[in-house]
Amino acid sequence: MATGHAKWTGGTGCCLATHGPSAIHLLNGLYDAKLDKRPVVAIIAQQHRTVLGTGYQQEIDAHALFKDVSQYIGTITTPDQLQFVVDRAVRTAQANRSPTCIIVPHDVQQLEMPDALPHAHGHIATAVGWRPPRVVPPDDALDAAARVSVHQRVDDALEAARRCMDAAGSSARSA
């Protein structure tokens, strides 16, 4: 659905999944988004931080699983990181027209979010809003394209008229 939303609206899709098999089921849609260059942000849960890497029930190595399909993978290990990781995932998805992934362990989901993050060393502030870059070719390339364009249009029109006359043949002269 997230990829369909991104394709249909031209916006950014978002999908959520719990850990293990549920996260694995997101891969088909994310690969579809990757191949069609559509921005999608996948937010997946992960087991508690204390059991990561132990083979705990339905634990997966989310970084390894999503690294091929995602342009960016961020794991939130403290609530202070939430704003930055979400911001970076969304900006990366939009700028690169590709899927990104945010991993949130279960125990981090239960922690309190701070009211405001300090603007101090060790904290990264994010900006508000995003606009796609505006790419403008150099002036000489625009001038060359304008010259070719005008001459090419005239030549194309004359060629089309000649083809019409050739197709109509001599019967068109008396019409």
The values of phi and psi at residue 60, to 5°, are -130, 160
pLDDT value at position 49? Answer: 65
From 109, 131, 150, the end of a domain falls on: 109
The answer as to whether 127 is a domain residue is no
Domain count for the chain: 2
Residue 73's CATH number: 3.40.50.970
pLDDT value at position 25? Answer: 93
Over range 155-172, report the average pLDDT. Answer: 68
Residue 102 domain boundaries: 2-109
The answer as to whether 128 is a domain residue is no
Same-domain check for residues 22 and 89: yes
The answer as to whether 130 is a domain residue is no
pLDDT greater than 60 at residue 173: no
pLDDT greater than 90 at residue 43: yes
Whole-prediction pTM value? Answer: 0.69
pLDDT greater than 80 at residue 32: yes
From 109, 127, 149, the end of a domain falls on: 109
Q: Which of 35-49, 137-151, 161-175 is predicted least confidently?
A: 161-175
In DSSP terms, which residues pair with 101 in a beta bridge? 42, 73
Q: Which of 96, 24, 33 shows the shortest CA–CA distance to 66?
A: 24
Q: How many CB atoms lie within 10 A of CB 122?
A: 6
* Tokens (6 digits) for 26: 């997101």
Q: Is 107 exposed, middle or buried (0-12, 13-18, 19+ CB in 10 A)?
A: middle
